[in-house]
Structure 1
């Protein structure tokens, strides 16, 4: 695995390497020791799967408020998505900065997202599936979000969403 810093402090792009032979491939997607050696402390407590039937499905931008913050590792295991993070940590040198990257099974990428950073994605093809590994139990009362098209962040999405929940579309402007 290779760990690459992004333009958002603490967000790390993890580049996997598949070992291929005539049977197919095998790839390590997570190793506590390897991640710790790269400075990422992710003691996984929960995993989740997000299935997205249609291309153009937008989910996000979600995060967990204190006192229930949540770091996560996200990987696309089917299809393709444009994965996005926004730094919502006021003390961070990259406060309000965003970063986006395409994730797919073919490019073997994962994104480590620290607590206090919002996350969302746009599915680029039908049947996109994301696997999440989180370091905290989900606490519904701490769930929060910011709007995908909030001018405070000016995220450059590859397309407008075709499918989005009323909750995700209706978050107020940041700071309102």
Structure 2
């Protein structure tokens, strides 16, 4: 495993090994030992997949904070998507800054998202499949949301949104300061 980028002093974009044989390819998405060697202490407790049939399927800004310190990793097993990380730590020098990068089944990248960092995603191809894991069981009820149209953040999406759930549309904005 190779660390490609470090964002906001806590989040990592990783390239994981891909092994090929006459049977096809195998990506080693997670190895607790390899992650620990990269400075990431993570124990997977929940693993799920999201299948996005349409280009433009959007997952709004979701995050965990110090009250619910959940850390996440994700990768794609099919398709392509634009992934976003947003620094939502009020005391951070990079507060409200964001970065984006493309994930695909072909580039076999994995992103590590610690608590305090918001995450959003939009599919760039039909039938995109996201593999998502956390170090806590569940997520509903403890995940926090922020409206993706928040002007203080200013996310730029590369394609129009074609599918979005109501709770992302109605997510709260930042309080006025």
The answer to whether the 8 Å contact 1:44/1:133 transfers is yes
- Give the secondary-structure state (helix, strand or coil) at the position aligned to 1:142: coil
Distance in 1, matches of 2:19 and 2:152, equals 42
Residue 125 of structure 1: CA displacement?
Answer: 1.1
The answer to whether the 8 Å contact 1:152/1:173 transfers is no
Provide Cα deviations, 1:116-174, integer angstroms capped at 9, x if missing partner.
Answer: 11111001111111111101122433221112221111122212312111211122322
- The answer as to 2:156 corresponding to 1:156 is yes
Aligned residue in 1 for 2:23: 23
- Give the secondary-structure state (helix, strand or coil) at the position aligned to 1:141: coil
Aligned residue in 1 for 2:166: 166
Aligned residue in 1 for 2:2: 2
Aligned pairs (5 A) from 1:1-176: 1-176=1-176
Distance in 2, matches of 1:153 and 1:9, equals 19
User: Which segments of 5 or more consecutive residues in structure 2 lack a partner in the other structure?
Assistant: none
The answer to whether the 8 Å contact 1:62/1:119 transfers is yes
Distance in 2, matches of 1:93 and 1:41, equals 24
The answer to whether the 8 Å contact 1:48/1:131 transfers is yes
Residue 175 of structure 1: CA displacement?
Answer: 2.4
* Corresponding pairs, count: 176
The answer to whether the 8 Å contact 1:52/1:129 transfers is yes
CA RMSD in angstroms comes to 1.6
Distance in 2, matches of 1:139 and 1:103, equals 23
Between 1:130-139 and 1:72-81, the stretch displaced more is 130-139
Distance in 1, matches of 2:4 and 2:89, equals 20
User: Which segments of 5 or more consecutive residues in structure 1 lack a partner in the other structure?
Assistant: none
The answer to whether the 8 Å contact 2:66/2:115 transfers is no
Residue 87 of structure 1: CA displacement?
Answer: 1.1
TM-score by structure 2 length?
Answer: 0.91
